[in-house]
Every structure is written in structure tokens, then in C-alpha cells.
Chains A and B, each alone.
Chain A
Amino acid sequence: MTLLKINKIIAILGIIILFMACDKIFEFSPYDANVKEECKNTTAKNLQLIKDIQIDSDTFSFAFVTDNHYHYSNLRNVIDDINKKNDILFVIFGGDIADQALLKEYEIFYSIMKNLNKPYLTVIGNHDYNSNGEIVYKQMFGDYNYSFEFNHNKFVIFDDVVWESNKNPDFGWLSTQLTDNAFFKQVFVIAHIPPFTDQFDSDMEQTYKSLMQENNVSLSIHGHIHSYSFGKIYEDSVNYLTVPWLKKPTYCIVNVHNKSFNIELIEL
């Protein structure tokens, strides 16, 4: 009898402690898109951090991590590894932040990325558009298309999701962003879906390929296909890189040297 009572008291205390510790006391639906104020405008905040980086060399590195879906432990391992490498100045995440694109998935991703000791930017992936993900992404990160300059290089972040977004990629915007390519040492384009895969029809593929070629893009970086590939896909000078997903703790480092670059595949 006494033992039963003690068990009951322990159970009640357990529930009370869990209640007190809950991140959110009440939740109303998995489809909620109510992003916490502190998690908003992540892209703008990180662009400012990148702007503040002081660098007096032509050589620098950035990491490309992609396709988390729900491999949170591997994401954490990769983040811890990147933290140890001082030559990596910032991280770009290649999309599929979430799997069902529930707010909870975005929040878990956000909390893990808080462990990163350098700035990071994201591009939206096709999975990130599911459920209310489009709204959550906009609130938590910001624009789907944007660009920035770093150390006389231009980075163009391009939303090329077709099916889940119910819209065609904004190639007009991409073209405008690339017209000033002659002013930069190199131009890097980052989009979740590679032009040579499922969601692109042949017209879109042709458009993308031509834009890269005509604007002297050095490297077009992607996720989506979950495997590593690097090289010239078309008969032109543009390199295409696809980075593996986080089912295993893998990512790529892009080492930029003046007007060239090289790729390292890291498998932890």
C-alpha cells in the first residue's frame, strides 16, 4: 500500500516536472506556423554576421550541408566538426531542413544550428514547402531568393522548387542577379534541386544551364539527390556539385582561392 502511494507520488511529480520543463505549455496543431519571435529573420541576422567577417586574403572556405530531413543527430555531429575548423568562415544549408515541414521540425533544426559557432544561411528545399512549411520558412529565415557578396565573390541563393511550391522558379530574378558577374572573382549559385533531375522539365533545364554558362558561374551547388557528384555536366565550363544528405554525417567544404576553388567531401 505504502509502496503504491510512493509510486503514485513519483508519477505525479514526474508529470509536474515535465509540465514545468515543457518548451511550449500548449500546442494546438502540428500544422501551426506560429514561429517564435526569437527564431525569426534568421537569414537577415546571419547576412549581417557574414558582412562583419574581417578577411585579408583571397583564400577562404565555406561548408555546404544539406538534406537534414530528420537526421538530427548527424546534423549535430556535422556542426560539431565544422566548429573545430577555423578556416570555414560560414555554412550554407542546401534545403530539406524538414521532412513534413512541420513547425516542430523547423524548431528542432533551429535549436541544433544554434550550436554552430559561425554564421549560416539556408536555401529552401522541396520538403520544406510541405504542410505550412512555406509560411514557417518565410518567418524563420526570410526570402526564398536572395544574394550576398563575400570577399569579392557573389553568392546567389535560388529557390528552384517546382512541384511543392506550385510555382515555376523565378529565372528572371536569377538572370538579373547574375548580370553583374564581371565585377566578382567568382559567382556561386546555390539551389536545392539540381537542373538535371526530376522536378525540372527540359525547358527549365535548358534555361538554368544557359544562365550558368552565359554568366560565368564557377559552381552550381545542390542537394536533393542525396548523393555526391562533382564535375562538368554539360559541355560548358560550369561545375555542378551535389552534396549527400545527412543520413550519414557527411558534408562538403568549398575552398576558394582567388579565381579557383576545390571541393572536399567530409565523411565522419
Chain B
Amino acid sequence: MKVRNIFTLFIALLSFSNAFAQDSTLTKDKTWYFPDYAKVQFAGNIGFFSVGFGYQFLSNHLYSELLYGYVPVSISKAEKIHTITIKNTFPTFTEKINEITLSPITGFTASFETGNNSFLKLPDKYPKGYYSTNAFHFTFFIGASVHKDFINSKIINGVDLYFELGTVDTYLWYGIISKEVMVNKIFSSAIGINLFF
């Protein structure tokens, strides 16, 4: 049910962009707040699936996105996990090979989650300072992205496919302070797609 809702939202976002894009595809003359692309990601510590939209900044040296990630009960083995994430990706350089552009990427995310016994404000039962908030997590990643432009398409102007290896702030910290925590225990992968309007 939830997954269907997410896909509905995603399709709605695409159609919405299409409605706007009809006249402006060629000139790219979009309203400033209109997103440059939509995104779907699998895994990466920000959800089983996450969906959202993003903007290109600093002459395409920064890709910033707002994402909603969801982990169903069947995967989490606990409550449903809803995560709101701001993700920033930096293509380190780009290399054009025929029709496609290849970029090594690096970046970080900042995630917010409450509901799985996590809290923003320390509940009153605890003495002041007993815990700090556990609702935020950061992830760091490296990877590669492949971009292809669709010159004649009216709906989607281009697509990115990307692959990442990433870890969570807490895991990385443990990896640094303890030789018992090996790098292969704290890194995992994510794959995703950006669809440009």
C-alpha cells in the first residue's frame, strides 16, 4: 500500500514536470524553484527505497536532493522506518565517452528519523543531558555515475545511473577508533537513478 503511494507520488511528480516542460524543454527556462530532476534510490542507509527531487548547483558541481526513504516492516523487522534525507553529491570530474558522461562521485547525506524509539528532544523522565538526540544520522559515500542525455525526448531530458559505497557517521567513527571494526563491516552499497526534466 505504502509502496504504491510512493510510486503514485513519483509518477505525479513526473507528470507535473511534463506539464511544465511542454513549452520549455528546449530553452530550459524553468521557474527557479522547479526541481532539475527526480530521483529513486535503493538502499544506502536512508531507506529501502527513497524518492525525491533535486537541484543542480555551482555549475553542476553540486547535486542537492530532498528525499523520503521508507523501510517496510518485512525488511526492518521492527516498525516501519520513515526517513527524511538531504543528500549532496559532488561529481569529482567528468569524462565524456561518446554519448555518455562518466563521473566518479562523492558526497554525504543528513537524515532525520523519529518513531523507532528515537527522539528529537530528550523525554522528561531523563535527567538533563542523559542522552543526546538519536534522530539524526549522516552518511558518507563514494561511487560512480553514468549520465546520458536524451536530446529528442519531451518528458525526460537525461538520466543518471549511479552506484555508491557508503557508511553511517557512527559506524565510521567506530571504524576509526577501533581496529576491531573492519572497513568491510561498515560499508555497504546503494544504487539509484536520476531523471532530468
Show the binding face of A for B, using Cβ within 8 Å: 8, 11-12, 15, 18-19, 21-35, 70-73, 75-76, 100, 102, 104-105, 107-108, 111-112, 129-135, 139, 163, 198
Contact = CB atoms under 8 A, between A and B. Distances in A.
Main secondary structure of the interface of B (DSSP, over half): mixed
B118 A15 contact: no
A15 B46 CA distance: 20
Contact of B168 (A30, A70, A76, A135): A30
Given A29-B47, A31-B118, A33-B77, 13 more contacts: A8-B104, A15-B143, A18-B165, A23-B184, A26-B43, A29-B48, A30-B137, A34-B76, A70-B178, A73-B179, A104-B185, A130-B134, A133-B117
B125 A22 contact: no
A130 B117 contact: yes
Query: B interface, how many residues as a size bin?
Result: 35 or more
Given A29-B46, A163-B126, A132 B78 contact: yes
Interface in B38-64: 42-48
Interface in B4-55: 42-48
Contacts of A34: 75-77
Interface of B: 42-48, 69, 71, 75-79, 81, 83, 104, 113, 116-118, 125-127, 131, 134, 137, 142-144, 165, 168, 170-171, 173-174, 177-181, 183-190
Given A15-B142, A26-B190, A72-B174, A31 B113 contact: yes
A159 B78 CA distance: 21
Contacts of A100: 134, 170
Given A11-B104, A130-B131, A31 B116 contact: yes
